[in-house]
Amino acid sequence: MRLYFYLFSVILLILNTSCGPLKYKPVDAKEFPPDPKERVKKNIEEGRGFRIMGSTNKKGGNFEFASSNPLWRATLDTLDFMPLVSANYSGGIVITDWYSENNTPNESIKITVRFLTNEIRSDALDINIFLKQCSENLTNCSVNQKNNDLVAELKLNILKKAARYKKEIIEKNKKENPYVGTESKGGDAPEQN
């Protein structure tokens, strides 16, 4: 019985290799550019090559760490003076706790930031500021949404920091690996859509 199993395995292996996957395939040298950078560029465009990080294959999900997203980092750095109630990267929202200065205990603010996209652009963030005003004895409180100049300043500050962080990431990755073709990593290969 064991002899038949081994014989069957050898025959199956021979048939499998003769069908093509392990056969030698001649390659014409005219099809490949002599410059290594051009070969890398061509292989990336055709989706060939060995890549662990920075793959342009968009079939699976994008499992980046929150610290690698410049917009997320810039938001947390901008709001670092306020206590956070929730910072959910996968949900794309940051909610602060009520915050008040020492000299105004009757007024406090709360900020919510929703991420509409990971791209650094003016419509990437939805920022809301809520103002809570209480009476002197802190019993009667009213909460109003105050989307005024402070929202515009906050958004501008976050976007400036995010652009600076993204530029630093691109420069760092260009020095470390100039052949990576994704837009966020830098390099000389075209961006895949």
Domain that holds residue 10: 2-62
CATH of the domain at 91: 3.30.530
Alpha carbons 179 and 63: distance in angstroms, whole number? 21
DSSP letters of 7-47?
Answer: HHHHHHHHHHHHTSTTS-----GGGS-SSHHHHHHHHHHHT
Residue 100 lies in a domain: yes
Average pLDDT over residues 74-102: 89
Structure tokens belonging to residue 88: 């959910």
Q: Model's pTM, two decimal places?
A: 0.56
Residue 193 lies in a domain: no
Beta strands per DSSP E along 69-124: 84-88, 93-96, 107-115
Residue 181 lies in a domain: no
Give the pLDDT confidence of 2-43 residue by residue, as tens digits.
Answer: 888 888 888 877 776 655 555 666 767 777 777 877 777 777
Helix, coil or strand: residue 123: coil
- The secondary structure element, H or E, covering residue 164 is helix 149-176
